[in-house]
Amino acid sequence: MKYIDEYRDAALAKKLAAEIHRITTRPWTIMEVCGGQTHAIVRFGIDELLPAQITLIHGPGCPVCVTPIEIIDKAIAIAARKDVIFTSFGDMLRVPGSSSDLLSVKAKGGDVRIVYSPLDAVKLAAQNPSKEVVFFGVGFETTAPATAMAVYQAKQRGLRNFSMLISHVLVPPAIEAVLSSPQSRIQAFLAAGHVCTVMGYEEYIPLAAKYRVPIVVTGFEPLDILQGVLMCVRQLETGRAKVENQYSRSVRAEGNRPAQEIMTRVFEVIPRKWRGVGEIPRSGLGFREAYGDFDAERRFQLEDQAVNEPADCLSGLVLQGLIKPAACPAFGTRCTPEHPLGATMVSSEGACAAYYRYRRPQPA
């Protein structure tokens, strides 16, 4: 398949791995930011091709995983209302809140529907004027433009029965939060290629300079990741700290300007809490006042309340790159994809789910 098979060529992968082995002289720790990259690394055994001196750390790169419990609880409260059609991408339905999930609401009769685009929710609002239609807007900068466009179109069409529960987060502030932590041991980053397709990589340049860390914008196939690691190691070994673009077939320095413009029109930057990490300043998106009528939290008068993670769930440490999933005592026993304690075991991009699927010890 074009743009897939050629980036999974075993012979080329071995060549890239051999070059990484050749130039590596010291231990280096590299964090991949995106959960899609994490799954590729674990699925294809990319980390096992690397020298023992190189450690790959899995970062907070899964938007489903970092959606705080408080937001999930708000989604459940809205979805349980008889006058609401609650719409969401499918990966949010099994993310646990403090005591339930959206799939349980659906099982009890709630009108919870999976959609493939926020524009589908706008269409539902037009078709069901007697119902409140709510879309659960979750994701990094990758999905935010489509969410913004849906709100913009709903306003243009005068749909007063449409609103959104928003939990969009931004990647550069999360990288800075990781780097500024006293516990951080990260020396380089593989940045998420799909985020940079939208936003470009100019925002990363000050981070690389301030913290003296190489940042390489990287794709999601095995050869992408190996080349990204090679570019990081070359910089580390020569004492450089620049932003480089491995994913040049998709990413430009300035990103996608029209996508950025619709985001800026509808949203403003706000502080945002990240599940397992805590509040990060200027790391989220919220509605501008001109679009405040579409804010589901305001419409349904939902109040903020603090909720703690389950005591036996260590997903917060996993999201911060402080432990690998298998180091959690609940991993694979009390916490499984069928009965997850945390979002990192639910999401298709969660590190715990990746390790459960590809690295779980098999019974003898």
Q: Annotate 181-204 with DSSP letters as a single string.
A: STT----EEEEEHHHHHHH-STTH
**Taking a C-beta distance cutoff of 8 angstroms, is the pair 247, 193 a contact?**
yes
- Among 15-29, 54-68, 75-89, 257-271, which stretch is predicted with the lowest mean pLDDT? 54-68
Instruction: Give the torsion sign (CA, 118, 119, 120, 125).
Output: positive
| Fold topology of 64-169+255-299 | Rossmann fold (3.40.50)
Residue 6 is predicted with a pLDDT of: 85
- SS3 (DSSP) at 77: helix
Find how far residue 23's CA is from the centre of its chain: 32
Find how far residue 12's CA is from the centre of its chain: 29
4 pLDDT above the threshold of 80: no
Q: Is 278 left (phi over 0), alpha (psi -120 to 50) or beta?
A: left
- SS3 (DSSP) at 300: coil
Tokens of 163: 């609103």
Nearest to 185 by CA among 56, 314, 19, 68: 56
Q: How far apart are the first and last CA of the chain?
A: 37
Average pLDDT over residues 285-310: 91
Q: Is 256 left (phi over 0), alpha (psi -120 to 50) or beta?
A: beta
- Which backbone phi and psi does 149 adopt, to 5 degrees? -65, -35
Residue 331 is predicted with a pLDDT of: 94
Other Cβ atoms less than 10 A from the Cβ of 305: the count is 10
287 Cβ contact list (under 8 Å, min separation 6): 151, 166, 266, 267, 268, 294, 295
State how far the Cα of 213 lies from the Cα of 179, in Å rounded to an integer: 9
Tokens of 201: 């990589």
Tell me the pLDDT tens digit for each residue of 257-294.
Answer: 999 999 999 999 999 999 878 899 999 999 999 999 99
Average pLDDT over residues 107-117: 97
| Amino acid identity at 119 | L
Average pLDDT over residues 153-171: 97
Average pLDDT over residues 149-168: 98
Nearest to 135 by CA among 145, 152, 149, 120: 120
363 pLDDT above the threshold of 60: no
Nearest to 227 by CA among 79, 18, 82: 18
* Banded pLDDT at 362 (limits 50, 70, 90): low
State how far the Cα of 364 lies from the Cα of 352, in Å rounded to an integer: 22
1 pLDDT above the threshold of 60: no
Q: Residue 167: beta bridge partners?
A: 138
- The alpha-carbon radius of gyration of the chain (Å, integer) is 21
Tell me the pLDDT tens digit for each residue of 188-203.
Answer: 999 999 999 999 999 9
Q: List the helix and strand counts (H, then E) for the chain.
A: 16, 11
- SS3 (DSSP) at 11: helix
Residue 63 is predicted with a pLDDT of: 85
Residue 306 is predicted with a pLDDT of: 77
Residue 183 is predicted with a pLDDT of: 87
Tell me the pLDDT tens digit for each residue of 330-347.
Answer: 999 999 998 888 889 988
Q: Which residues of 257-285 are buried (b: 16+ CB within 10 A; e: fewer)?
A: eebbebbeebbeeeebbbbbbeebeebbb
Tell me the pLDDT tens digit for each residue of 123-158.
Answer: 999 999 999 999 999 999 999 999 999 999 999 999
117 pLDDT above the threshold of 60: yes
